[in-house]
Amino acid sequence: MSTADLLVSIYERLLRAFGPQGWWPGETPFEVCIGAILTQNTAWSNVEKAISNLKARGVFDPDSLLGMSQAELAALIRPAGYFNQKARKIRDFLSWFVKTGGFEAMEGMETSALRKSLLSIRGIGPETADSILLYALGRPIFVVDAYTVRALSRHEIIAPDADYREVQALFHENLPPDARMFNEFHALFVRLGKTNCRKTGPLCDDCPLGTLPGYPPVV
């Protein structure tokens, strides 16, 4: 079985097991950007609390958020954890966002150039940048996260210590650049990880991926 067929097979199994996930769990591209920063190494339930604090205050827009002090912002996003760091990250992102010209300007930028620009923002790393590209802007960029790496490595498709670029290349080089499919695929990895793919111990016997027997490690 080719690597491409293997990846498609995984996608189909996850989709059959869990159904469409309907990501991103936010209403607007702006909310995706803020959520992507807030969810860094943090449970989504905590991010929801932080975002609802901002909405309740009526400050969930670039100008209002930039208009308050970093300490005020930090207090509002406290439930999301790392609140001092994330307050600075949000401010740095929003400064960039305004300077760049907002979503209208971003739409006009080439994906690779936009990705580089996002990565130049302090606090925006590969996963956060790619989440914005895919889920806020609909670019065909595959998002790699801890769940993705864990699932793939536990099924011996990648090495446990494979780096971000390597894992992303596995998808980019073996699947058509379909943003809708990348969207659903990554969300399904998260869905899988939340219940079925523990860090250690035996593979779950009810794993939708089964044992995927006989596949040599790809990477």
Partner DNA sequence: CCCCAGGCGTCCA
Partner DNA sequence: TGGACGCATGGG
Q: Could you list the residues that contact DNA (CB under 7 A)?
A: 23-25, 35-36, 39-46, 49, 78-79, 81-86, 122-129, 131, 135, 145-147, 161, 163, 190, 193-194, 199-200
Q: How far is the CB of 41 from DNA (least distance, A)?
A: 4
Q: How far is the CB of 172 from DNA (least distance, A)?
A: 17
- For residue 132, the 8-state DSSP code is I
- C-beta closer to DNA: residue 157 or 190: 190
- C-beta closer to DNA: residue 57 or 122: 122
- 56 Cα distance to chain centroid: 25
Query: Of 217, 192, 206, which Cα lies nearest the Cα of 21?
Result: 192
Q: How far is the CB of 93 from DNA (least distance, A)?
A: 11
Q: How far is the CB of 9 from DNA (least distance, A)?
A: 23
Q: How far is the CB of 127 from DNA (least distance, A)?
A: 4
- C-beta closer to DNA: residue 62 or 81: 81
- C-beta closer to DNA: residue 79 or 208: 79
- C-beta closer to DNA: residue 24 or 142: 24
